[in-house]
Amino acid sequence: MVNQKKLKNPFSYLVFICFFIFSCTQKVKENTQSLTKVNDINFTKLEFSEIYQSSNNISLVEWNGYIELSEYINQFNSSDFSLLIDNKKYMEKFFTELKNSIPESINKPEIYSRITVIETDFLKFESMISNFTVENLEKIKMVKKINNSFSNLNFQIDKLIEKTKITPL
């Protein structure tokens, strides 16, 4: 009789532990499913006014290429892609001049590389529009990518200017 009690006792512990583990894993699965539903992005409902704007307009006012780039991006956000259609040579010339006209205070590799990323996005978008029939969803994705690259440029400009203000002479 004593042996049966000893057997029941460990068995009940085992059942309890299995039940506890099962209920915990079920809760984790529910939480991850709810998180994936929250993180789904509907690109057709995105607002393109989410571009990070530089707070250092003093440095950028004299940089005409930057102002022109900003205007092009605003055109894309209003679904005007006329600048891109069969304009690869103009885009290449524009970005070469943009890179050569970076103000001396921010003429650093970080800025140059961000402009190169934007140039790559522009040229890829130009190629898509000029050579293929592109659906609106694809256009929206590319505009979002260009906005993201432009935001990164603006953020880097702010960080670079902030760093030069902090650095002791």
Q: Give the total number of structural domains in the chain.
A: 2
CB 160 within 8 A of CB 106: yes
Residues 118 and 52 in one domain: yes
The pLDDT of residue 136 is 85
Structural contact between residues 42 and 144, judged by C-beta atoms closer than 8 angstroms: no
| Together in a domain, 99 and 18 | no
Q: Which domain holds residue 28?
A: 1-40
Tens digit of pLDDT at every position of the chain (169 positions): 555 555 556 666 666 676 666 665 555 445 444 444 444 434 344 444 467 777 766 667 788 899 999 999 999 888 888 888 878 899 899 999 999 999 888 899 999 999 999 999 999 999 888 887 888 888 889 999 999 999 999 999 988 888 877 655 4
Residue with tokens 């929250």: 38
Assess whether 36 and 102 both reside in one domain: no
Regarding whether 114 and 95 lie in a shared domain, the answer is yes
DSSP characters over 110-152: HHHHHHHHHHHHHHHHHHHHHHS---HHHHHHHHHHHHHHHHH
CATH assignment at residue 102: 1.20.120
Task: Provide the pLDDT for residue 86.
Answer: 79
Residues 13 and 71 in one domain: no
Both 76 and 159 in one domain: the answer is: yes
pTM of the complete model: 0.66
Q: Say yes or no: 79 and 138 in one domain.
A: yes
Do residues 69 and 92 share a domain? yes
Tell whether 94 and 14 lie within a shared domain.
no
**Do 72 and 32 share a domain, yes or no?**
no
Q: Are residues 139 and 151 in the same domain?
A: yes
Q: Are residues 82 and 25 in the same domain?
A: no
Per-residue pLDDT, 167: 55
151 and 51 Cβ atoms separated by less than 8 Å: yes
